Amino acid sequence: MSAEPKGVRSNLLQELFWTRTGLLLLTLVVTSGSSLAISSTMDQGALRTFLTSVGTGTLISAVVGFGQTLITNSAAQRALITPVVEESRRALRDLNAEYRALDREFFPTHVFEPTARPDPAFNQVMMQDLERTRLYVFRGFAGRYAAGRLLLSQSECELRAVLADPRDDDAISGRARYLLRNEGVDGDYDAIAERLREQISIGLVGLFLARGRCSRIDLTIVSDPPLDRLELFDDSVWLTLYSNTSAGVIRLYPRTVRFAEGSFIYGMERAEFLRISNSKAGLHIVITPGTSRADFLALFEKITGNPLTEDGFRSLEEKFHRFRKEFSASAQLGS
């Protein structure tokens, strides 16, 4: 939107020709020219002298009036129109700044639609946020993707994660129902639930393998994790909407929106994550770069309720690396 006074004649010459003042000046010029032209064809006498005087006087009046009109209109332009234009420009700048602030607070910076395979653009933008962050917050299901991103990252950060409790059927059911809708009539709920429990085990092993990329990993295991996945960085928050099934099109990777730091969603989700991660109802586990494999095997049993042997650990490790390579190739993130 422009603040220029297009409906107002700002050009002085245009002002002369499109007002009654301009019409008056034109009349004077025509009268002067006509009188002088007629007098030039007449013989010496009183009538010729009269017409010459009339022509000369009206010409002088036209010239003086033209100059006076220029000066008057220029002064009016500076006194009336220019302040209005500047005020309009200032109001538009303020309005644009307010709209930008509203956009930043309530509207996502990026929207990624559902896909059947990892979206390279989605993952590349997220990896850029991860490279810049000091704190990586993850609230999801198994943590496999968080572990894979950490191993691909070139920077070090602190990870705080909320994961589903594999011992609680209710913690599994939300994600299982989503995947069951994706698989259609051929899907088997029990098989999906068992696969999800294995994914949690793989994710835990992956986080242990990624411990060297983090100054500290704080895990909170809860029985009622929110269905939507949250990934929060220093300057952005990402929400993967597993709860958004109203569109009627279910994909393995649902719709994801990104909001900037400082937005309403960023503050709300950060506060909600802190509430969940600090809840006394959850199981709190800490993994550091100094956590040994023996320590992790004990933590794994505490989280899952199942002991993990060395052979079992190596099997899960192999499955995680296979997942990481497939994910990296699909998302075009390198290896």
Q: Is the pTM of this model over 0.85?
A: no
Residue 304 banded pLDDT, cuts 50, 70, 90: very high
Q: Is the pLDDT of residue 87 over 60?
A: yes
Q: Integer distance in angstroms from the first to the last C-alpha of the chain?
A: 48
Q: How far apart are CA 301 and CA 312, in angstroms?
A: 12
DSSP 220: E
Read off the pLDDT of residues 211-255 as tens digits, 9 standing for 90 and up: 999 999 999 999 888 889 999 999 999 999 988 766 556 678 889
- List the domain boundaries for the chain: 8-106, 110-331
Q: Is the pLDDT of residue 299 over 80?
A: yes
Phi, psi of 214 (to 5 degrees): -125, 145
Higher pLDDT pick, 61 / 223 = 223
Q: Give percent of the chain above pLDDT 90.
A: 49
Most distant pair of Cα atoms in the chain: their distance: 133
Q: What is the pLDDT of the chain when averaged over all its residues?
A: 83
User: In the structure encoding, which two tokens stand for residue 137, read together?
Assistant: 């917050």
Q: Helix 310-331 and helix 189-209: axis angle, to 10°?
A: 90
Instruction: Count the Cβ atoms, other than its own, within 10 Å of residue 250.
Output: 17
52 contacts 34 by C-beta, under 8 angstroms: no
Read off the pLDDT of residues 95-152 as tens digits, 9 standing for 90 and up: 665 655 556 677 899 999 988 888 999 999 999 999 999 999 999 999 999 999 999 9
How, if at all, do strands 236-240 and 283-287 pair? Answer: unpaired
Q: How far apart are CA 218 and CA 199, in angstroms?
A: 19
Residue 280 banded pLDDT, cuts 50, 70, 90: confident
How, if at all, do strands 229-232 and 135-139 pair? Answer: antiparallel
146 contacts 123 by C-beta, under 8 angstroms: no
Cα–Cα nearest to 259, from 241, 230, 234, 236: 236
Q: How far apart are CA 74 and CA 81, in angstroms?
A: 10
One of 2.60.40, 1.10.4160, 1.10.10, 3.30.870 is the CATH number of 110-331, namely: 3.30.870
Q: What is the pLDDT of residue 3?
A: 47
Instruction: Count the Cβ atoms, other than its own, within 10 Å of residue 135.
Output: 13
Which residues fall within 8 angstroms of residue 190, CB to CB, at 6 or more apart? none
